[in-house]
Amino acid sequence: MSSPADGQAEGTFGGGGRAAVPGGIPESSRARSVLGLGVGLVISVLLSAALVYSAAKAGITPGVSPLVVLFGWVVFGSFVKGRLKGFLAVAQVTGSAGAAVTAGVVFTAPIVQIVHGEAGLEVPPVDVYTLILASIAGSLMGFGFVGLATKRFLTDPRLPAPEAVAADRLIATAVANPDARPRLSISLLPGLLGGFLVNSFITLRWLAHDAFHATFAAPWAVDPSVADPDAAAAGGATPAATTPAQIELPLPVTPLYLGIGALLTLPTAILVFTGGLVNAGTTSYAAAKGMPDTTFRWVGGAAMTVAVIYSLVEYVVEGRRRALEGAATTAAPSDGAAGLGTGVGSVDDPLLEQSTFVKVGLYASILVGAALLFLMMQHVGAPAGTLVVMGVVALVLVSLLSGLGGLLSLQVGSSASPVSGTVFMGMLVLSLTAIGMELAGIEGIVFLVPIVVAACVAICAANDSSQDYKTMQLNGFTVSDGFVGQLLGLLGGAIAVPWVLGIAHAGEFDSTGAGLGGPALPAPQASFFGTVLGSLFLDADIPWAPIGFGAILGVLAVGIEVVGKTRGVILSSLAFAVGIYLPSYIGTGMMLGAAARFLGTRNIAKTTHEGILVAAGLITGDAFASLILGFLIYYGFETAPWELGGDAASWIPQAEWAPVVTRGIFFVMLAVIFVNYALRDRRRAG
């Protein structure tokens, strides 16, 4: 291990400890790495761009901080040597930030295209420059608000922050024995190659999309008044009651879903999967009863609203309680309240102290972000009164929901914690405010969406920041040393993501005629939000029955979450709600990936980190295949001659052995995940 002068202090907590220095922060607690900033910025831009396709497909993004740490260790471990700890800490803060922007933009920006398509209007291209402005505004505001609230997040010992703990352990392992790097030949490289090839083969129809497709009889009867579309097309009037209701549960071979599942905890994956079962049942019931095919979105949205209200109330109540405890401790420090002394997790932790210069910078970031938000609204064409009211409401929402997002991230376990609920709540408030300002129709939606994008980016930035700053703290570094890297990573993503989203939409639109919201890029969150906005601004028709059913499910999910907390298990009601409006096959794939990880790790005391790398490889390989193909289509590449499942050469998908090959590849990916997580620790003695 290197000496404290190299940026590491001796200690035991989180591999980092530090010696207290009266009146200031010791130099050994400073994390300054120009190389870490540079490497992290490159990773941030590349990851944020590649994950655009993944987010538009799956509706969920994985926490990438452990991946960034592993990459930095494997590639730069021998070069950095004595400065490895500070390098990895700074690189992970910078490198993971761009993925937060990806989630913020992809979850909301496609609303414009989806609403136009569902309304039968001409679908516009992605307004890249407006989205860049919204992304930068959201990044600056989220960065500032979370930076100012850092002490509150990082002094609560009850928040487990699993992603931060995982990154901390990786850094400690790397520093203890920098030469015992994970083997890429059995983990990341096979994952990248497999993810890239399988996604490419599915896209070109060389493989079937589904490995299995289960069908179950539904317990409800089909409404005879619903006409059978096939019979109607044939000129008949056969009622749909002649066809029994069915529940469809496809199981895709897509590497992306397996990889994301292998990075989630098993309880979270099971909750998403359970929500997917509700989705499948609701979809079947709606079809049988002649209800709109968007019914499941209302059920999921209502469940999510209940979960968010619960989280928000708990957040406010807990904040009040912590404030009172802090005041009592200040008045009577001799009481010795647990967790309120000096050290990591303490309100007096010197690592959380911020200079006046840093605080001024955080306030300036919020002000500049707010100014850009107002500039963006003016660019869209808002009247002065509307601009002021919407801007103030948006700023207040961002300040509150950014804090809630940071808390949920540390509570649920990763920067991939469900942000849809907080964004949905913010969108509802902004929508009602816009309607109160007499905004309506498709023009009202076009005006509103960039504001929602800015709010969502701010929330997602808060999610990522809270985990990254916790990693800095666990490693014994001054948390504010990560602020520059976090801001650089966010800004890099804010520029790259809107541009790639525009290419993704144009490429898929040229290829399938659908673009964002179509079969290739369903954008589940944006589709759900678009359904709500379409009802509010265009149809004025709210389906209260599905909303009531979803609210009941939300109450049950919150009850399960409360019981889980009493037993030390995090069972997020938001994860369940998200699973309802995600396509059911996504939750199935994630659950199987998480199960492979669980089975591979439950009976061994130590594991190498190849499991994380293979899961990340499957995700990024899948994403890069979509990214490259999207660029090629955007610039004129024709896929038809290569599609062996097309009219020119249709023999592969229809061949008798094709399902066997597809299922074989699916099981191989599961086996690779299992084996890499199950490998026993083989580190060389350092």
Q: How many CA atoms lie within 13 A of 343 on its CB side?
A: 11
State the Cα–Cα distance between residues 32 and 39, nearest whole angstrom: 13
Predicted pLDDT of residue 243: 61
Predicted pLDDT of residue 45: 94
Q: Are 628 and 49 in contact (CB under 8 A)?
A: no
Q: Are 387 and 377 in contact (CB under 8 A)?
A: yes
97 Cα distance to chain centroid:
12
Predicted pLDDT of residue 557: 92
Residue 214's beta-bridge partner residues?
249
Q: Are 301 and 547 in contact (CB under 8 A)?
A: yes
Read out DSSP for 139-153?
Answer: HHHHHHHHHHTHHHH
State the Cα–Cα distance between residues 57 and 53, nearest whole angstrom: 6
Q: Are 383 and 439 in contact (CB under 8 A)?
A: no
Residue 31: phi and psi, rounded to 5, are: -115, 100
Residue 334, phi-psi category: left (phi > 0), alpha (psi -120 to 50), beta (remainder)? alpha
Is 632 strand, coil or helix?
Answer: helix
Which residue in the block uniquely carries the two structure tokens 């402005």?
133
Which residues, other chains included, contact 570 with Cβ-Cβ below 8 Å and sequence gap of 6+?
A: 160, 265, 267, 268, 411, 412, 413, 561, 564
Predicted pLDDT of residue 346: 54
Rg of the chain over Cα atoms, rounded to whole angstroms, equals 25
359 Cα distance to chain centroid:
28
Any idea where the domains of the chain sit in the sequence? 34-218+248-326+355-678
Of 222, 245, 266, 285, which Cα lies nearest the Cα of 550?
A: 285
Tokens read off for 538: 């265009």
Please report, as a single letter, which amino acid is at residue 412.
V
Is 571 strand, coil or helix?
Answer: coil
Q: In angstroms, what CA-CA distances link 390 with 402, 405, 435, 473?
A: 17, 21, 11, 37
Of 330, 410, 487, 362, which Cα lies nearest the Cα of 155?
A: 410
Please report, as a single letter, which amino acid is at residue 79.
F
Residue 227's beta-bridge partner residues?
239
Which residues, other chains included, contact 17 with Cβ-Cβ below 8 Å and sequence gap of 6+?
A: 9, 10, 11, 476
Read out DSSP for 396-453?
Answer: HHHHHHHHHHHHHHHHHSSTTS--HHHHHHHHHHHHHHHHHTT--HHHHHHHHHHHHH
Read out DSSP for 91-149?
Answer: HHHHHHHHHHHHHHHHTTTTHHHHHHHHTTPPPPPP-HHHHHHHHHHHHHHHHHHHHHT
Predicted pLDDT of residue 592: 92
Residues of the chain with pLDDT under 70: 1-31, 158, 160, 162, 223-244, 315, 318-319, 322-348, 382, 411-420, 507-514, 540, 603-608, 634-658, 680-686
State the Cα–Cα distance between residues 500 and 506, nearest whole angstrom: 10
Predicted pLDDT of residue 637: 65
Q: Are 32 and 67 in contact (CB under 8 A)?
A: no
Is 252 strand, coil or helix?
Answer: strand
Which residue in the block uniquely carries the two structure tokens 């989180």?
14
Predicted pLDDT of residue 522: 85
Predicted pLDDT of residue 19: 39
> What angle separates helix 111-118 from helix 524-534, to the nearest 10 degrees?
60
Residue 128's beta-bridge partner residues?
none
The neighbour count for residue 511, using CB atoms within 10 Å, is 20
Q: How many CA atoms lie within 13 A of 635 on its CB side?
A: 5
The structure's pTM equals 0.80
Read out DSSP for 212-231?
Answer: EEEEEE-SSPPPTTSB-HHH
Tokens read off for 26: 């010791």
Predicted pLDDT of residue 415: 45
Please calculate the CA angle 362-139-305 and round it to the nearest 5 degrees.
110
Residue 612: phi and psi, rounded to 5, are: -60, -40
